[in-house]
Structure 1
């Protein structure tokens, strides 16, 4: 329940603080006095869009603070606890707006984004504006009203999630399907390339091996001559060779070591050299035995190298990396095959998603149908009480011609006949402005009862009604206040008199500045204000007597 509202430098309000009570409070005042400013200011604490024009002229900032008692509001308590904003059965919403248009929001002293104000605000207050009847002719708004009455929030969330899942799977399927022709051509190319590399039997490390063998065979004649010359120099030369010379040197050293043992290290080194020369000569003989001139093998290797080079040019890679390229192509080909398999999987997923969505949408349709029947009777009865005898209201539910949607498969349309014997027609076609206003009010009151928001604000929703109809409107709101705090801005005395308490808004000017104030009326003050609403500025004994009677009758209704 709204307990207090403090407004500072907002629009034409300099400084205002209002204490609110349970049951029904009516707000009246002269035209242009700013009766709706309190509601506009409160809307700022509920996260509505702000702008620089809301700041009073010549001031740096505007500030609005709303205090709510949430002792009996477990949903609001839970929300605050989940966001670490709880405070002993109290919720204080604050909004500060700078003259540049920037704003800051606070909940129980902690700064929060406007979206958080809006979230908690939805659990505290429901505002019904004077232009609500204009929205009433729109099918989407009609659907929203029906879903609010049916409390379909949870089911709508499930339907929306199922729809998004179905849409996502369908879109993925379509994208893959559209790529099939391109995939087919790409798959053929990849298969050809993989087959070509497979036929060539490209092996990892093979190119390095044949490259080395080609180099050896290509230079075999030179290698043979050089190796034979080296063997002659090392071991087999008749005119002298390294092995014989080293052997002769070792023989001389053996003679000398007898005379000087300091030569022993030298002898060991020369002996080692002699052994190395012998082993080197042996290795060189074996190399010469294996080395051969083989033009046929050289031709084969050159052909193999040419195969590698051709494939490397085709795939724009080094011949050393052909085996890596082959594996990459195989992986791509596998991936394309997987895409084809994915199409089959998606077809099954689409079926499952459609079934899930269809069931939830059917459940939603059934709930809507059940509650639509309730609303038909309730709104028809309420229209009769608002001086529309014989009027009939009905909610038509039909299937969407555009296919599934995130809000289900139903097209909701409010149908009405305001004259007995006339067929039901769409609301926008048959209802006059005044009738539309009354129907809108009847719907808002009935929806409000069902939604059970702790505080309901009605901002001149009685526009277009008067006389007995206005009195019926007042009775509706007073009855609604049995279980809910109702705050109603009105210009009709027949409505204002039904409030359990009444606030008067007044605009004054001084020092070239305009000020708006709000005060709680005493019983005598209420009679004077109702008399003013009944008879204008000149209040006579008769208008005051009429006002007193109006108030007395309303307070015992």
Structure 2
């Protein structure tokens, strides 16, 4: 659950810290006080899209931080460990800063993370349901993801296998289409590849040849200086009156000294060994001096060779090895084009086999979805009955999608494969007896959409494993006994997980376990948002205000007390 939320310099919020409790917490207040801004801040903390516009005017950055506690066996703990995030005590501190330039800095438990990681962890902790989900419900293309979310446990393994096969089939299909290009394009490619391959082959390149040639060029260009240095070094060591002659004299004297003082033996051996090592080095220098060549023709050849290699590098790669790798690829491409018919035949046979396997997995997906659709339909009907939509008929229809241009044929039938299978899913609705079923997007009113989404959320909340659910004005377009039913439904969800709810309905506010009042004040000609946890008496006044809309009277206060008493009785276990 979300324990504490801290917000600084965000929109009209200067600085705000809010503590949350278990169960149902409602946020109420006048329109424009900042209720939805608090939810927006939570959304950004969970990885939502940021913008410099969120930063309070005159400030350098907006800062949002939230403390979450999860169960010891929550799957997000294992996921956090994979990301290298410390998850001790089952505690998560999410932090996000947004600068006035629009840049985001994200941290989880003090570790810098990408926005994608923050989003993956955040979505496992909190489920925010607002007006955008109403819109998603009105978009048929979103319905398949909702059904798949409901069937996720049964669907996971089959869906993974399907996507693996589908991606491989897409790759093969691209190769087949590429090889089946028109003859003119293939002829042009063949000419180009043949010219490139011939140019590289004529150069007779050797791996790392450029490196060896540059080293040799450097030596040849400085051969005279190298000869002089080595010759002087050799003459300094070897010859009468030279370095080795003096060291040999020292060896002879030390040898006689050892016969007098045995403690000098180590010194004698050290000097003696040095003499022989230096003598070997002198002979090596002599041999190297004799090997040095002054060959201007060789230097000229190397310069020409490096020039030719550099010309090839500009076309085919940064190194000789890169050029040789490119030549190998060109050779393969040429072979594919020259033998394209055989290549196409082999690829097509492999692709046909993949289509067959993919179709088996696609039908398995369809079967799982149809069973899940039946179960989801029954579950939604049960939820709708408790929301005074008992005469509403809801249906989740799974059908085969229309085939695309390049859809394959299997046993004489065109199969419309896509990234998520061969199915389309759409919700249908009939709100009154005798009326035909029609697409939900064309017949549902705002109040009906709110109740249907709440029904879906009631079903999903037990499956998703999130620690908190946030409802942002899901009670739009309802009143009376329907409002009471929605209030009871939201509270029922809060029994299994923490629920935060922005509401304008007194019935929902009355069911709250804790009530936060959001208000804005003007200080120093700037607007500030503040949050206050209401006492019982203050709850009565606020609910009375929500009932009357204008002036709180003793009658509306009595009505508010009745709502709270009713709520308390409804919350008692049966």
Residue 171 of structure 2 is aligned to residue 168 of structure 1: yes
Q: SS of the counterpart of 1:449? A: coil
C-alpha displacement at 1:124, in angstroms?
0.6
Q: 2:181 corresponds to which residue?
A: 178
Alpha-carbon contact 2:179-2:337 (below 8 Å) kept: no
Q: 2:108 corresponds to which residue?
A: 107
Alpha-carbon contact 1:145-1:447 (below 8 Å) kept: no
Q: How does 1:348-387 map to 2 (within 5 A)?
A: 348-387=349-388
Residue 549 of structure 2 is aligned to residue 539 of structure 1: no
- Residues 409, 334 of structure 1: alpha-carbon distance in 2 compared, 3 angstrom cutoff: closer
Deviations, residues 99-123 of structure 1 (Å, cap 9, x unaligned)? 2222211111122221111011121
Alpha-carbon contact 2:128-2:472 (below 8 Å) kept: yes
C-alpha displacement at 1:503, in angstroms?
1.1
C-alpha displacement at 1:380, in angstroms?
2.0
The TM-score, its normalising length taken from structure 2, stands at 0.69
Q: 1:520 corresponds to which residue?
A: 533
Q: 1:295 corresponds to which residue?
A: none
Query: Which of 158, 163, 178 is residue 161 of structure 2 equivalent to?
Result: 158
Q: 1:98 corresponds to which residue?
A: 99
Measure, in 2, the Cα distance between the counterparts of 1:70 and 1:381. Answer: 30
Q: SS of the counterpart of 1:134? A: helix
Q: SS of the counterpart of 1:373? A: helix
C-alpha displacement at 1:23, in angstroms?
1.6
Deviations, residues 263-313 of structure 1 (Å, cap 9, x unaligned)? xxxxxxxxxxxxxxxxxxxxxxxxxxxxxxxxxxxxxxxxxxxxxxxxxxx
- Residues 154, 549 of structure 1: alpha-carbon distance in 2 compared, 3 angstrom cutoff: farther
Alpha-carbon contact 2:28-2:502 (below 8 Å) kept: yes
Q: 1:250 corresponds to which residue?
A: none
Alpha-carbon contact 1:131-1:461 (below 8 Å) kept: no
Q: 1:233 corresponds to which residue?
A: none
Q: 2:440 corresponds to which residue?
A: 427
Superposed CA RMSD: 2.5
Q: SS of the counterpart of 1:440? A: helix
C-alpha displacement at 1:538, in angstroms?
2.2
The TM-score, its normalising length taken from structure 1, stands at 0.71
- Residues 467, 73 of structure 1: alpha-carbon distance in 2 compared, 3 angstrom cutoff: farther
Q: SS of the counterpart of 2:428? A: strand
Deviations, residues 230-260 of structure 1 (Å, cap 9, x unaligned)? xxxxxxxxxxxxxxxxxxxxxxxxxxxxxxx
Q: 2:32 corresponds to which residue?
A: 32
C-alpha displacement at 1:416, in angstroms?
0.4
Q: 2:47 corresponds to which residue?
A: 47
Q: 1:486 corresponds to which residue?
A: 499
C-alpha displacement at 1:41, in angstroms?
0.7
Q: Which moved more, 1:520-529 or 1:137-146?
A: 520-529
Alpha-carbon contact 2:26-2:503 (below 8 Å) kept: yes
- Residues 54, 154 of structure 1: alpha-carbon distance in 2 compared, 3 angstrom cutoff: farther
Q: 2:253 corresponds to which residue?
A: none
Q: 1:207 corresponds to which residue?
A: none
Measure, in 2, the Cα distance between the counterparts of 1:95 and 1:162. Answer: 38
Deviations, residues 481-536 of structure 1 (Å, cap 9, x unaligned)? 12111111111111111121111111111221111111222222212211111123
Measure, in 2, the Cα distance between the counterparts of 1:536 and 1:545. Answer: 15
Alpha-carbon contact 1:379-1:442 (below 8 Å) kept: yes
Q: 1:134 corresponds to which residue?
A: 135
Measure, in 2, the Cα distance between the counterparts of 1:2 and 1:529. Answer: 24
Gaps of 5+ in 2: 194-329, 404-415
Measure, in 2, the Cα distance between the counterparts of 1:466 and 1:125. Answer: 28
Query: Which of 423, 429, 433 is residue 416 of structure 1 equivalent to?
Result: 429
Measure, in 2, the Cα distance between the counterparts of 1:187 and 1:476. Answer: 69
Residue 473 of structure 2 is aligned to residue 460 of structure 1: yes
Measure, in 2, the Cα distance between the counterparts of 1:54 and 1:371. Answer: 41
- Residues 170, 15 of structure 1: alpha-carbon distance in 2 compared, 3 angstrom cutoff: same
Alpha-carbon contact 1:441-1:462 (below 8 Å) kept: no
Q: SS of the counterpart of 1:481? A: helix
Alpha-carbon contact 2:70-2:467 (below 8 Å) kept: no
Q: 1:440 corresponds to which residue?
A: 453
Q: 1:74 corresponds to which residue?
A: 74
Deviations, residues 188-245 of structure 1 (Å, cap 9, x unaligned)? 9x9xxxxxxxxxxxxxxxxxxxxxxxxxxxxxxxxxxxxxxxxxxxxxxxxxxxxxxx
C-alpha displacement at 1:183, in angstroms?
6.1
C-alpha displacement at 1:382, in angstroms?
2.1
Measure, in 2, the Cα distance between the counterparts of 1:75 and 1:331. Answer: 47
Alpha-carbon contact 1:413-1:426 (below 8 Å) kept: yes
C-alpha displacement at 1:335, in angstroms?
5.2
C-alpha displacement at 1:479, in angstroms?
0.9
Measure, in 1, the Cα distance between the counterparts of 2:29 and 2:336. Answer: 75
Alpha-carbon contact 1:500-1:555 (below 8 Å) kept: no
Bigger Cα Rg = 1
Measure, in 2, the Cα distance between the counterparts of 1:12 and 1:119. Answer: 28
- Residues 187, 513 of structure 1: alpha-carbon distance in 2 compared, 3 angstrom cutoff: closer
Q: SS of the counterpart of 2:62? A: strand
Measure, in 2, the Cα distance between the counterparts of 1:363 and 1:44. Answer: 38
- Residues 101, 336 of structure 1: alpha-carbon distance in 2 compared, 3 angstrom cutoff: closer
- Residues 12, 182 of structure 1: alpha-carbon distance in 2 compared, 3 angstrom cutoff: closer
